[in-house]
Structure 1
Amino acid sequence: MSVESSSSAVQQPPSSSNLPLLGDNQVVATTSSSTSSASSSSSSSSSGGGGNLVGVPLDTQSSGEPPAKKQLLDNGATSSSSSLLSSAAAASGMHEKLAHRISNALCCAVCLDLPKTAMYQCQMGHLMCAACFTHLLADGRLRDQIATCPNCRVEISKSTASRNLAVEKAASELPSECQFCNKEFPYKSLERHEQHECQERPTKCKYHRIGCQWRGPFHETNEHERNCLHPQKSGYEVMAALEAHDERIKEEKKMFNTLIDLLSYEKIIFNDLQMKPYRTDEYVHKLFYETARFSAFNQQWVVKARINNSQRDPHQSNERTITYQLILKTKTSTPMSIHFFALKGPFSDMKVSTQIYKHEFTETSTESEYYVLPLPDGIGGSGSSECNRMLANKGINFRLLMFLLNK
């Protein structure tokens, strides 16, 4: 009894026969209504002209974004590009300012320029380029005073000052401006660029030997040479320029032939000498250089040199020259015709050109005239830089060649 009641209490899912049945007319009505709505939507889209929605702009429909959002995107792209440009410009400006500050920190304390060769420092760390360092030592020698650092006044010399290789390497990597084209290059390659690569470097015409005085930028050389009038001039018109050129060639050839003739002399001698600095006994002590006595041709000789022809204050002049003379210290009964010249020796780093001098030594004429020691041209077209370098040393080492002409 209880089992039957519990089984009858379980509910069964409704069968399909229990669902309400729809009539045929209801199904047809539903289908026709859906068909009519679809046709009405298609007709409205076709009547809109190309599928555009009524009341919606064309650009919004093509991009799929509303106008306000698209404008925001465009403004964002423009602002991002401008911010990138401004940040790049700011970075470039910061780089230039940093390079300028580093250049100011590494420049020479005397000439305020970056070093082209070596950089020295005093015991307190103040920097001086090689040219200014030797100039200070030369000034101290000319004044008969101890050279000092221009910043801290500490004593400087070749034994107390030291080279700063880190500054030299850092300065060689800094950008520097070309003096011709105003473009920036690493300092270490600037000299090569200005001499061989720059299109604005001054250049002579290839017809300068026949009188063309044109001098202009390298990139205009070909055009000028095509239009140069000097190749079309007659021989009479270019004779003056050719004669001046021939005179220079004759001087060089004359010196070469003289040297060859001197090498054929029977009596030739050379001595490696050192000139040391001394002071005169006058009220104003003047600097001069002199060697120890040396023997040549059975006689005793001395070489003496002076600065700027014994100028009163040679340290006040930037132009400096060295002149020297040959002095016979022993008496001679017969005249001696001596050719002599100075050149670089094995124990010296002196840079000197060849210039042969001659003097007739007699019993009454035992000193030659003062002749210029031909130093090579330095900065500014003179040998002052080489002269300062020699004066900065404790002594001047050189080799003296002497030729005796037998009569």
Structure 2
Amino acid sequence: MKKILCLIFFALALIMCSSPLVWAGEGSIDTGDNAWILASAALVLLMTPGLCLFYGGLSSVKNIVNMLMMCFICIAIISLQWIFWGYSLSFSGDGWFIGNLSKVGLMGITPSTVSDIASTIPEGTFMIFQCMFAVITPALVLGAVEGRMKFSAVMIFVPLFATAVYNPVCHWQWGGGWMGNWGILDYAGGLVVHVCCGAGALTLAIMLGARKRENARPPCNLPMVCLGTGLLWFGWFGFNGGSALASDGRATFAFISTNTAAATGALVWIICEWIKTGKPTLLGALTGAIAGLATITPASGFVGPLAAVQIGIMAGIGCFFAVTKLKSLFHFDDALDVVGVHAIGGTIGTFAAGLYSTKMIDPAAINGFFIGWDMEGLNLLGKQCVGILATWAYTVAVCIIIALIVKYTVGLRTTETQEDTGLDITLHGETSYHLETEPLSSIK
């Protein structure tokens, strides 16, 4: 493991030494657009600490530190991967499958370089905004493996997942690849983020195997989950609103649709829960809000607020039944319901974009089937289905290969003793809480 890390750092040093910045073409930068996208990048970054709290509160008390560490370390790993080669693979060249290495180490990008994709902001702004999407995607995956994946395996899985899964799919949709060029709609990451992370989570959960029954415990800290949900909801305004890549009316409507779908998802989830169990729960409301946010993501820049309500209803019902039925039906242990919320939410939302997209919100878009009721809308719906199937199939296939590579190098799963004791102590030498009480006789 140490030799592998040394080789990686040596290779990165060579890249930096051989990759001086080169001045490129200049364009017209809109300071308002630039300020909004930079602010949105900060909002999206905040989502990963929010995810730390959300996942940490859902974890067993003996695995909180491990879960926080796995999510947080994605910021460090992917921030470097994105600068060195991830951005170039995602957003350079016009290949149908993946970009090239012309922007390795951000070669050719200067303060005055304007993005080819967003002509009113510097390419550096576009790069750092997209970096935050790349950061949170593998962090989302790791919710499925709570309490049973080696941290060394995480350190290898995360950059491999980003390079072999996220970067190609990102290029397919947003970087000039086949999905975007063909007309598949994914405004802010239903396929690129949510289906990728959900399909990856499903693959890892199956290959790792289930936790022991006594180690599969209920959430340890619901207030932490609530705070994490609030930060995620807040950050999602940058996630979806910023994906307009401009400070304009479309960004406003993406903002509105995001909030509307989250609110609807929370309400619908607790109604479903109330009917099924007789009790609405805080955890249900929080999970429903996240489901609504995940589901509206691919459609938020294409639909109006009433369509967002309908998508939120789909999210609440669809993700609720996915979370409560899929794991028992197919016998996989997705610890924190990444598959039910993100994979299913992203799938529903991408399909819904083909139903509800409207030229009223995006004049360049095609009216969805429920808007135009014509063959053009039906054709769009078919393309959305192809994009969903392709992303699912590719992600699962590549994640199987990555998991096998990790398994036969450093190993995937922790030992039974480590799992019983807890990964906080056995892997990190820390605990989440230090509770010290004085005997009653010492209290004056």
- What band does the TM-score fall into relative to the shorter chain? under 0.3
- Structure 1 length-normalised TM: 0.20
RCO (CA 8 Å, sep 6+): is it higher in 1 or 2? 2
TM-score, scaled to structure 2:
0.18
Looking at secondary structure, tell me which structure has more helix per residue: 2
| Greater share of residues in strand | 1
Higher Cα radius of gyration: 1
